[in-house]
Amino acid sequence: MRVAIDARKLHDFGIGTYIRNLLRHLARIDRENEYVLLCHEPDMGVAGTLGENFRSVLEPADNYSLSEQIHVPWVLLREKPDVYHAPHYVLPVAVRCRSVVTIHDCIHLMFPQYLPNRAAYAYARGAMWSAARHSDRILTVSEASKRDILHFFNVAPEKISVVYNAIDERFWVEPAAEDIERVRERFQLDQRFVLYAGTIKPHKNLVRLIEAFAELRRGGFEELKLLIIGDEISKLPALRRAVHSHKLHKHVRFLGFLPDETLAALYRLASVFVFPSLYEGFGLPPLEAMASGTPVVTSNVSSLPEVAGDAAVLVDPYDVRAIVEGMRRVLSDPMLANEMRRRGLVRARDFSWERSVARTHEIYRLVAGWN
């Protein structure tokens, strides 16, 4: 069996994590079938790190471009795979081989107001509709996302397979005590702090998080700090305005992207991890925090209750007071915090890249007709 996989988003924040773990675990479980990776020029060497049955081919087209609609089908026509996996929602119309597409979520359709213009919405809806219609199998990462796909697109439920994400293995490794202490000293973390990690986008609901943090401090937690880890703060000026309006300049810190090793230490130093997102296809950061032994407060909407189970305090993300109360409960009740830590470690073990990629491999065989 020959499988082609689009690896152009290898270094992206969320989808990149998905692709990297997919390739890493395929290399572990399958040394017989051939894998052709469509890569940008800087990543042409990635196949050599995976095994002799992996091969990179150049795909110079940018993601979401007109050229990918032409060049990707041409590469596949030349390579003749039994199945092609598009790990994002773009499946060029001219692809003629059997195909699998991963639709992680329907965020662009659920919150079109966050897209830059109507053209972006039209593109997203059209690309997802085409992928859902023309692929032989749709993978998605939660039952919540499956329901959303069925809501927006007229496809048979049995065409959609739920294959959960999991956390990167590095978050299971306890950093050395001296490394944690080095991170504490570097960021001068001599007081308790609330942690958020993820992208800086409107649906992540960080303005309400800052408002809730301001109210929490006024309610007896004056020593508390808030650390926000993600992309550049300039992408969402409303966050700066929220900090200014609540006079939180000395108490809210935006750290940008950090290496996983640093993030792993910060998870373990945090008093509580808060993730009040309005919508997630899966939501990896709460699971990473759980695996790090950090109590989690997260939203009671979309896939987050499905992922968190009973191992997090769930709150209404549209209600600032609910977010305040969730944080207050964990910060003021050591027994609850310890119970959340215990449950979180157990819950995080329920998700495994090894099992998820084995299921994806099985779907490749089914779609290719090799079973």
Rounded to whole angstroms, the Cα distance separating 30 from 326 reads 44
Give the long-range contacts of residues 106-112, CB within 8 A, separation 24 or more: 106/145, 106/148, 106/149, 106/151, 106/152, 106/281, 107/203, 107/279, 107/281, 109/148, 109/152, 110/148, 110/279, 111/202, 111/203, 111/278, 111/279
Residues whose CB is less than 8 angstroms from the CB of residue 12 and which lie 6 or more positions away in sequence, other chains included:
19
Q: Tokens representing 102?
A: 């991963």
- Span 13-66, pLDDT tens digits: 788 889 999 999 999 999 999 999 999 999 999 999 999 999 999 999 998 888
* Residue 183 phi, psi (nearest 5): -65, -40
Q: 299 and 160 in one domain?
A: no
Residues 175 and 130 in one domain: no
- Two tokens, residue 338: 């310890």
Structure tokens at 172: 């299971």
Chain Cα centroid distance, residue 51:
26
Residue 113 is given by DSSP the state G
What is the C-alpha end-to-end distance of the chain, expressed in Å? 11
The number of domains in the chain is 2
Q: Residue 193 is part of a domain; what is its CATH number?
A: 3.40.50.2000
For the chain, the residue count is 371
Residues 106 and 249 in one domain: no
Same domain, 255 and 202: yes
- DSSP structure string for 120-156: HHHHHHHHHHHHHHH-SEEEES-HHHHHHHHHHS---
On whether both 262 and 343 belong to a single domain, the answer is yes
User: In this predicted model, what pLDDT tens digit does every residue of 297-318 receive, in sequence order?
Assistant: 999 999 999 999 999 999 999 9
Report the alpha-carbon distance of residue 315 to residue 297 in Å, rounded.
7
- pLDDT given for residue 234 in this prediction: 67
Sheet with 193-197: strands ordered across: 252-254, 225-229, 193-197, 272-275, 296-299, 313-315
Count other C-beta atoms under 10 Å from residue 235's C-beta: 12
Tokens 């089908």 sit on residue: 73
> Whole-angstrom Cα distance, residue 91 to residue 97?
11
Are both 91 and 16 inside the same structural domain?
yes
Q: Beta-strand (E) ranges in the chain?
A: 2-6, 34-39, 54-58, 83-86, 99-102, 137-140, 160-162, 193-197, 225-229, 252-254, 272-275, 296-299, 313-315
What are the φ and ψ backbone dihedral angles of 233, each rounded to 5 degrees? -65, -25
Residue-wise pLDDT tens digits, 198-219: 988 899 999 999 999 999 999 9
Condensed to tens digits (0 to 9), the pLDDT of residues 118-151 reads 888 998 999 999 999 999 999 999 999 999 999 9
Place of tokens 């199998």: 137
Residue 35 structure tokens:
């894998």
Condensed to tens digits (0 to 9), the pLDDT of residues 87-129 reads 999 999 999 999 999 999 999 999 998 888 888 899 899 999 9
Segments forming the whole domain that contains residue 136: 2-166+352-368
The rounded mean pLDDT for the chain is 94
For position 54, what pLDDT does the model report? 98
246 and 356 both lie in a single domain: no
pLDDT of residue 14: 80
Q: What percent of the chain has pLDDT over 90?
A: 86
Same domain, 117 and 194: no
181 and 129 share a domain? no
- State mean pLDDT over 331-335: 97
Whether 121 and 187 share a structural domain: no
Record the pTM.
0.92
Q: Give 15-43 as a 3 state SS string.
A: HHHHHHHHHHHHHHHCCCCEEEEEECHHH
In the three-class reduction of DSSP (H, G, I as helix; E, B as strand; rest coil), residue 11 is classed as coil
Q: Are residues 146 and 195 in the same domain?
A: no
How far, in Å, CA of 167 to CA of 153, rounded? 29
The pLDDT value given to residue 199: 87
Q: Are residues 122 and 250 in the same domain?
A: no
